[in-house]
Structure 1
Amino acid sequence: MKKDIFITTPYITLGQLLKEENIVESGGKAKWYLKENMVYLNDEPENRRGKKLYKGDTVSIPDVGMFFIKTK
Structure 2
Amino acid sequence: MEITIKDDFIKLGQALKLAGLVDSGVDAKFVIQDGQVKVNGEVDTRRGKKLYAGDTFEFEGTVVTVK
TM-score, normalising length: structure 2: 0.83
Cα deviation code 1:12-57 (max 9, x no counterpart): 1111011112222221221112233521111111121111100110
Q: Extract structure 1 runs of 4+ deviating beyond 3 A.
A: none
Greater C-alpha Rg: 1
Match of 1:19 in 2: 17
- Matching of residues 1-72 of structure 1 within 5 Å: 3-36=1-34, 38-63=36-61, 65-70=62-67
Number of aligned pairs? 67
Aligned-residue Cα RMSD (Å) equals 1.5
CA distance in 2, matches of 1:40, 1:51: 11
Matches of 1:4 and 1:22 in 2, distance apart?
Answer: 11
